[in-house]
Structure 1
């Protein structure tokens, strides 16, 4: 009996394992072996020989990409075989639609080969490549908690009812069935007939993927004619022709771009043959030929780069109107090219295996089946140079259909499904109606997910963040039938969205630069980025935005805090804010008005000892009492990446203290009920900002919220109602 004989390869490609939890930890689903032992097994077993050849090839292929890393030693064959460990498991994987916020997923049962070589790790996925083998599968349990038995029956006995693991009686046979997603051979050079077939499937059957909005007129719309190899102006046409769009990373190297000097030349037929654009754009033109599309919009060639009046503020409308967006995901610059268009630009070769009649083939990219949340960006795209740029983020989001070119294969993503070259096409339509029903409803979690993902992206110029995020806001505004944003925060959940926090990072700092804002009279004012918005900080990724997801809504802050001691009995919070309340600094500086946030709230001054601080280097070391929900001292506040304790004895009036205490101001901004803890369950907790004031203007002093219970807040001294003018 060989090592591989006990592995139930027949389950690959069926929905049996995905539904049946009883076999999740069965020995037949998980095996481990050293690569050297597998090499020895391969001398007398054809399947083991195929597995060894695949693993050996992948280790060599992947490690060659690390040759430039001086810290990675070159290993001999003997060292690789001796030190590598192989873990094989049958597991259920899920591919979710790439489009953030959209529904649709596909589950499939695969073989996961996990190979560990020192600190290096590689995953290899094997998919069923056809309907062969002993399928379907019958599973039977004699009693509820008894032994399970597994048998295989001839093809034809397909399961008709879904297996419900919640049923107590599992004594009846459960017949598995094959899934519709099979693995397949991916050619080293792209077969454009496959991509055209994907487009036809979507054109013929996906009403949801059609442009749902009225075509927006663009003041100056130019396109590249791939037949005439020149730029044309279609602004005056009654109807725009069908066109593709290109989303790519520019990089820092210069390349051919449209300017006032070369506009006339580049609008001459054949000019792009005589003055060729960079390789990525040339490959995109070739892709249009393969897709039988005559026109494509490329920002570098269709916008006059040295004419500010030619710049388009609503590029999202262009990407939304295009029939397909070509995404050059793997290229770090416009000169990188698009893999698979030309020979010898894709290199990974697949391996076919057969196990007891089950045809298997390895997936080109194991990350395409990594688990992800509904609103998360999948790993197969998140690590690419394209996904790490802020400007390309909005282009991918607003596009209705995308062809995403990664290093080794092409993905199709539309509002109804996700396809890839190495997997037989499959669309999951059951969730589409659910998406359509929720499409027009404001969703604060979608805003949060987009902001968190966007915050990971890089900008060459910090001050471009508002413009780079504008397409996202325009997209959500149209999607929800009209929704406004202020500095990246949605008005529909504005107060709770103010409760953003950053990942812990000692390099965090306020964002430099200004953003131009056009006033009602047409003048342009350059406003600084406000400290109250997540856009106003840089240095790390956003990690959370607090949202009201409670059945019982909290009271307004004014009503909630009305009974707490204020110290001066002032009730100015009841009146409306007018320009008469503006501070002199706000009146004298019009630019501040565009980034100022004015509101009445209750503040409390608290004292701390600056000589005693917790110097934290990661979020895992953050003191738990930064967000207390009980009525107990001490609690902590964060100041300049250090945490200081607020002790009860430091707050007593008239108390003499040794040493010098410093004072900080906490301002209540948001409140919600505590429902997730046994202590103080049902009580209110207050989210507070640590703020600092200069000449009547306030700023956030920390990018972390301080959370205290309402009862804790009531016992604090030195409270007062104040008009806060935040910038």
Structure 2
């Protein structure tokens, strides 16, 4: 329950605050949109509160100083400085809906602001970290940062779908529904229902996959779902309306669906007596409370020791998450027993404070940045990446509150903005680095398709995973969805239609071959373990888990395919990779100076090594040239190649000049060739690095030869 609050006690300094301005969070504006009005950061109130010692000396006699002092207690003890109350940046611009009667028709929109306390340190402590891009981590100078934010509490909160509450009719009634909202210790189920109701009834098709997203027949729905009413597993009903769960297994023991217990799990009430982790149990309770019936969760809805089912379901993550009504995201904690804070009584602490003034109430803001949960374990795990990207709607549980994000709107428990319309600019507290709106539900032209693929892949490779063998599996959902959108096929993580472009990936940082093997079905239907081919980005991982290498995913704008690739399929047969020729990229690039004639078809040759699934075979130019080979540290592999004048390098423990075999795999419109550095084993070439050189430089290589390459 919300505690009652008497009027705030203010000291002589805080009494000087312009309370009327401080509490006027809604600012009318008559400028046309897009509004040229500058941000208000640092302007307006600007009242000095004093030094740290002065503020702390008044904490017992002033409620504002008490709240500021509590924030200062969390600062490093060796810092000194002063605090000042300023007016916040504008984080929302909106217009009144047509249905609302306005007092002043000349007002075109409103600005929503709040006030915050800035701590100005007297000593700068700036970060001078590693110069290398892949070693750098975002740090901030300790000077001039916000330590406490206030927002005006909304005087009434309209809930969508609540027939007992009438829609606001006037401007005053409408604005009263906008502002801060007090967060209780238990999640407001009615509010979650309101978010879902508003999305389904007002957003329509904007928040669902389009008809262009066509998955293979039978791949649209999962095999099993949890029936939260009967508390057991059931076969997924036709056209099932289900909720999905995204969470981190972590180190906690997770009860799983196995072949031996599959019949028991189908018995009514069976899930009530099993040791199911707290996060899954809370998700079941939440789905039931919201009024939905079915829940999909991987540990229960996939038979974990049935490798055939598991492999099939992993490749269907795109259809499973995009087909869910919404996805519950367990962003609190680092294991499956962390639970969903606020679902059960006593599982969420109340950290929000109330400051009651004469004409309103101020609430402290819990999330002071638009990326409030980016540092959670959930936001950094590889498996959860596609679960977020593929979900149309997400309901995110953090330690302190719940967020909602769909393709049209973003909401949080502490900010009542459900009735805001025509938002011109909005900083959402949900992390926006990779959100669902970046994964288009409509087919894209080739350049935009490739840019989307490279953006998703680069971001995915910055996520952590426990088992390197999951590196392709955790991206399969994204691959499946892109393939369905573009009528494409993915080959070891690479889009077939843009294969030459996708082959241009490179890693910057501590990386090495991971020698991961994955299961495939051979021609006899038996399971066979096959190493991920060296030419795939999935065959390479970071050697230092604390510093993941950064993946450069190639460039579409000036690349042209110059090589006809064949790939060995699971039946050990050569199949031509069908790259599409786009108007802005003419076929195979024509007859370049370095190119020899090649056969139209590649036939197996007994003089070449036996075929193995995942290998590429193609004609290209092979040569050996001297280059600079480097590494990022004494313990790192030699994986960096540079074509530069040798005089600028002095060989040392991290740099040497070597003779290296290279093959041509692509070119660009500026007569630059992309070469793969290769090493040989039993007649098969393996990728060890990448280098770009001018075509003229390659023509100077004396020992060049035209060669049929088998690239493993």
| TM-score in terms of structure 1 length | 0.69
Matching residue within 693, 702, 707 for 1:722 = 707
Matching residue within 28, 46, 52 for 1:36 = 52
SS of corresponding position for 1:494: helix
Tell me the residue number matched to 2:106: none
SS of corresponding position for 1:580: coil
SS of corresponding position for 2:673: strand
Tell me by how many angstroms 1:354 deviates.
7.7
CA distance in 1, matches of 2:655, 2:26: 52
8 Å CA contact 2:40, 2:88 repeated in 1: no
CA distance in 1, matches of 2:80, 2:415: 33
8 Å CA contact 1:339, 1:408 repeated in 2: yes
Tell me the residue number matched to 1:304: 303
The Cα offsets for residues 261-288 of structure 1, whole Å up to 9 and x where unpaired, read as 3333332222222334221111111101
Matching residue within 583, 595, 616 for 1:597 = 616
SS of corresponding position for 1:584: coil
The Cα offsets for residues 289-341 of structure 1, whole Å up to 9 and x where unpaired, read as 22111221222222333333443432432333221221112232221111111
Alignment pair present for 1:318 and 2:313: no
8 Å CA contact 1:13, 1:127 repeated in 2: no
Tell me the residue number matched to 1:340: 342
Tell me by how many angstroms 1:544 deviates.
2.0
Matching residue within 152, 160, 176 for 1:129 = 152
Matching residue within 406, 414, 423 for 2:406 = 414
Q: How does 1:28-427 map to 2 (within 5 A)?
A: 35-36=51-52, 39=55, 49-50=63-64, 52-58=65-71, 79=77, 90-93=88-91, 109-111=113-115, 113=117, 115=119, 123-124=146-147, 126=149, 128-129=151-152, 182-206=179-203, 207-212=205-210, 217=218, 221-234=223-236, 237=237, 239-311=238-310, 312-313=312-313, 314-353=316-355, 360-367=362-369, 369=370, 379-426=371-418
CA distance in 2, matches of 1:436, 1:397: 7
Tell me by how many angstroms 1:403 deviates.
0.9
CA distance in 2, matches of 1:550, 1:384: 38
8 Å CA contact 1:401, 1:415 repeated in 2: yes
SS of corresponding position for 2:285: helix
Matching residue within 574, 578, 586 for 2:602 = 578
8 Å CA contact 1:30, 1:90 repeated in 2: no
CA distance in 2, matches of 1:93, 1:464: 39
CA distance in 2, matches of 1:643, 1:634: 11
| TM-score in terms of structure 2 length | 0.70
CA distance in 2, matches of 1:55, 1:454: 39
CA distance in 2, matches of 1:445, 1:639: 38
CA distance in 1, matches of 2:331, 2:198: 23
CA distance in 2, matches of 1:484, 1:548: 18
Tell me the residue number matched to 1:607: 626
The Cα offsets for residues 583-619 of structure 1, whole Å up to 9 and x where unpaired, read as 622x2xx4x3x22223333344222588xx7865899
Tell me the residue number matched to 2:672: 685
Q: How many residues align?
A: 593
Tell me the residue number matched to 2:450: 444
8 Å CA contact 1:288, 1:296 repeated in 2: yes
RMSD over aligned Cα, in angstroms? 4.6
The Cα offsets for residues 450-503 of structure 1, whole Å up to 9 and x where unpaired, read as 1122212233321222222211111112233x1221111223432222222223
SS of corresponding position for 2:416: coil
CA distance in 2, matches of 1:618, 1:115: 42
Which residues of structure 2 form unaligned runs of 5+?
1-11, 94-109, 126-139, 156-169, 425-434, 543-547, 560-582
8 Å CA contact 2:627, 2:643 repeated in 1: no
Tell me by how many angstroms 1:714 deviates.
4.5
8 Å CA contact 1:394, 1:468 repeated in 2: yes
Tell me by how many angstroms 1:45 deviates.
10
The Cα offsets for residues 634-660 of structure 1, whole Å up to 9 and x where unpaired, read as 499999994446xxxxxxxxxxxxxxx
Tell me by how many angstroms 1:84 deviates.
7.9
CA distance in 1, matches of 2:24, 2:117: 15
SS of corresponding position for 1:262: helix
SS of corresponding position for 2:552: strand
The Cα offsets for residues 109-136 of structure 1, whole Å up to 9 and x where unpaired, read as 454555588979675563643689xxxx
Alignment pair present for 1:483 and 2:488: yes
Alignment pair present for 1:709 and 2:694: yes
CA distance in 1, matches of 2:701, 2:687: 21
Tell me by how many angstroms 1:194 deviates.
0.2
8 Å CA contact 1:331, 1:338 repeated in 2: no
CA distance in 2, matches of 1:672, 1:182: 53
Tell me the residue number matched to 2:532: 529
Tell me the residue number matched to 2:459: 453
8 Å CA contact 1:15, 1:108 repeated in 2: no
CA distance in 2, matches of 1:298, 1:82: 50
SS of corresponding position for 2:661: strand
8 Å CA contact 1:670, 1:687 repeated in 2: yes
CA distance in 1, matches of 2:41, 2:682: 65
Tell me by how many angstroms 1:198 deviates.
0.4
Tell me by how many angstroms 1:156 deviates.
8.4
CA distance in 1, matches of 2:43, 2:119: 19
8 Å CA contact 1:636, 1:706 repeated in 2: no
Tell me by how many angstroms 1:721 deviates.
3.4
Alignment pair present for 1:544 and 2:552: yes
Tell me the residue number matched to 2:685: 698
Which residues of structure 1 form unaligned runs of 5+?
64-74, 96-105, 133-154, 158-176, 370-378, 565-569, 646-661, 674-682
Tell me by how many angstroms 1:199 deviates.
0.5
- Cα distance change of structure 1 residues 107 and 479 upon mapping to structure 2, 3 Å threshold: farther
- Cα distance change of structure 1 residues 709 and 231 upon mapping to structure 2, 3 Å threshold: same
8 Å CA contact 2:258, 2:304 repeated in 1: yes
SS of corresponding position for 1:255: coil
Tell me by how many angstroms 1:200 deviates.
0.3
SS of corresponding position for 1:701: strand
8 Å CA contact 2:55, 2:68 repeated in 1: no
8 Å CA contact 2:154, 2:178 repeated in 1: no
8 Å CA contact 1:246, 1:284 repeated in 2: yes
The Cα offsets for residues 46-75 of structure 1, whole Å up to 9 and x where unpaired, read as 6xx52x433433455x68xxxxxxxxxxx8
CA distance in 1, matches of 2:495, 2:344: 44
The Cα offsets for residues 166-195 of structure 1, whole Å up to 9 and x where unpaired, read as xxxxxxxxxxx9999633222221010000
Tell me the residue number matched to 2:133: none
- Cα distance change of structure 1 residues 258 and 524 upon mapping to structure 2, 3 Å threshold: closer
